């Protein structure tokens, strides 16, 4: 079902998350699409490079990109977890979320860009 990116994911309750180093590697290699589910003003104030904005307030899993695994991110993991549940309920299996959010990404030295 998944290759590369999700082949390294844990199983069980943590199967829908991705760790910092795995996300960093996936983004570097173009192995996933990063979807930021924060509101546009939050996204513009600072987001992970390469992320596309798809706000939770208008979230529809049918509009998630296809062709590559999708990683959902928000500020600290709450909204991306909600979006993940919606995506899984809609039948998407190629989706996970980064529970650290942009705050965790930045705290671990990850770049954040402003739009």
Q: Which are the catalytic amino acids?
A: 74
Instruction: Look up residue 20 and give its two tokens.
Output: 């910092």
Which residue has tokens 């671990």?
Answer: 108
| Residue 107, CA distances (Å) to 20, 37, 54, 90 in order | 11, 19, 23, 32
Using only C-alpha atoms, what is the Rg of the chain?
13
Contact call for residues 50 and 27 (beta carbons, < 8 A): yes
């Amino acid at each position: 079902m998944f290759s590369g990116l999700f082949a390294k994911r844990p199983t069980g309750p943590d199967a829908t998350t991705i760790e910092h180093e795995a996300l960093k590697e996936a983004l570097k290699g173009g192995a996933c699409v990063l979807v930021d589910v924060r509101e546009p003003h939050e996204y513009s104030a600072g987001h992970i490079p390469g992320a596309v904005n798809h706000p939770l307030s208008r979230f529809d899993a049918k509009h998630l990109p296809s062709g590559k695994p999708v990683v959902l991110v928000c500020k600290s993991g709450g909204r991306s977890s909600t979006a993940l549940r919606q995506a899984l309920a809609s039948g998407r299996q190629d989706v996970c979320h980064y529970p650290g959010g942009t705050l965790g990404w930045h705290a671990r030295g990850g770049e954040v860009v402003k739009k």
